[in-house]
Amino acid sequence: MDFVKKNALLAIVLAVTFVICATLLFLVYQRHGELKKSFAQLESIREEINNLIRQSPAPLKENLDRINDDSRVMKEKADEISRIFGQPNRFALQSFAAELGMTEDEISARFRDFWSREARKGSNRYQLLIKFKKEFDRAKLAKAIEAFMKIAQKETVEPLDDANTDDLLLASLGLPRAMSNVNCKTYMISKMQPNLVRFLEEEPFTSCNDVAKFSFEEFDNRMPLEENIPYILRHWTVIDDLVKRIKASGISSFDNLTKLNGLNGEIDREFLKFRYSITVTGSQNSIRALVNSLMDAYKTNRVYIIKNITMEKRQDEIKEITEGKETKTAARNPYLPPGIGREQAPQPGAPGSKPEDEENLPLQKRKDYGIIIFGNEKNIRAVIELEYVIYVASEYRI
């Protein structure tokens, strides 16, 4: 006690220190307990997450129904979109099916089932078609073929008969057109080239002297190879359509056509792409009409992708205006006697009898008011690079 009395201050400090240490120890113990509890909860949550990850949650029946409905709609939309890529005779096929009391989908499914049953490697395409036709009523079939031919003829300058109508019908059902090398060369040189030239030279006239072979000059002196023939036939289908669009747009001259990615084009996944460069001459309005026609071609089941356009004026109207004006007074004929052929003097007081009078008139009363000076060029050369895209994934092979 004496020690405590003598060292009261020290005793107080030690007592306070003890209390503080005890309090801190209690708080540390309490926090440690909470921390252990938190770690236990964390481990429990981790285990729950791992269990959920390992599970395969099964959707409700109503969700499965919705997924199946969405998948069906997506497939239908994808099929519908794929049909606009290079199917020029689709409308003809629809008319053919309608005469048989069927839809386009139904006739396509009918042919697909027939093909899976009857087609073999090396089968004759025409014998297969004859057998397929026997599945339908003869009278209805005759009307269906007539309807198909009527609409298909609007898409080509090639005169249609029973033989090539069968080819086009098979192509519209998914079997690409084919020919022998002799028939293919005859088709190019004797049918398509002269028919397209005649079509362009009809009124209103479209010049095509520099493009009469339509980039197929190489076959003037050689036969096409068998493996190239399907691609050649596809090219002519595209060229046929291009010529019609050029003609309908009012282009004055079709100057050049070049195949940019070769005779066989380029396969890009499920699509075949042909790339061309065409050169045309015409007015601004006609070139604009051609570009719009190419962009709207999907409405008739063809897809053109315009890659680049360059335009060049054939005459500089601004230069003509700035460097000189058209002479308003005719020069006297040097072979006439003096005094004959001179410009008649204007009557006194007549408005605009002098240039300065014309300049003093209000703009709307001047003779040249409203005349387009430039910006309405009628002689422009345009080079258009474009791709033609064909969906080939669903086509049949023999």
For residue 229, is it within any domain? yes
Final residue of a structural domain among 144, 175, 206: 175
For residue 299, is it within any domain? yes
3-state helix, strand, coil in the chain (%, to 5): 55, 10, 35
Residues 186 and 201 both lie in one domain: yes
Residues 271 and 202 both lie in one domain: yes
Among 9-13, 208-212, 213-217, which is the least confidently predicted range?
9-13
Residues 127 and 171 both lie in one domain: yes
Burial 14-50 (b: 16+ CB within 10 A, else e): eeeeeeeeeeeeeeeeeeeeeeeeeeeeeeeeeeeee
Final residue of a structural domain among 146, 175, 204: 175
Among 184-193, 336-345, 375-384, which is the least confidently predicted range?
336-345
* Confidence band of 329 (pLDDT split at 50, 70, 90): very low
Distance between CA atoms of 332 and 337, rounded to whole angstroms? Answer: 10
Give the domain range for residue 41. Answer: 8-46
Residues 274 and 138 both lie in one domain: no
What's residue 27's pLDDT? 80
Over residues 73-127, the pLDDT tens digits come to 888 888 888 888 989 999 999 999 999 999 999 999 999 999 999 999 889 999 9
Total domains in the fold of the chain: 3
Specify the CATH number for the domain of residue 305. Answer: 3.30.70.60
Final residue of a structural domain among 112, 143, 175: 175
Residues 238 and 381 both lie in one domain: yes
pTM above 0.95, yes or no: no
What's residue 259's pLDDT? 96
Distance between CA atoms of 271 and 280, rounded to whole angstroms? Answer: 28
CB 367 within 8 A of CB 352: yes
For residue 353, is it within any domain? no
Residues 186 and 265 both lie in one domain: yes
Residues 304 and 237 both lie in one domain: yes
End-to-end Cα distance, the chain: 118
For residue 263, is it within any domain? yes
Residues 218 and 314 both lie in one domain: yes
Residues 161 and 196 both lie in one domain: no
The percent of residues in the chain predicted with pLDDT above 70, rounded, is 81
* Confidence band of 228 (pLDDT split at 50, 70, 90): very high
Residues 216 and 154 both lie in one domain: no
Residues 278 and 391 both lie in one domain: yes
Distance between CA atoms of 201 and 207, rounded to whole angstroms? Answer: 7
Burial 277-305 (b: 16+ CB within 10 A, else e): bbbbbbbbebbebbbebbeebeeebbbbe
For residue 287, is it within any domain? yes
On the 0-12 / 13-18 / 19+ scale of CB atoms within 10 A, 9 is exposed
What's residue 215's pLDDT? 93
For residue 323, is it within any domain? no
* Confidence band of 317 (pLDDT split at 50, 70, 90): low
Distance between CA atoms of 270 and 264, rounded to whole angstroms? Answer: 15
For residue 198, is it within any domain? yes
For residue 114, is it within any domain? yes
Residues 258 and 310 both lie in one domain: yes
Residue 122, phi-psi category: left (phi > 0), alpha (psi -120 to 50), beta (remainder): left
What's residue 13's pLDDT? 76
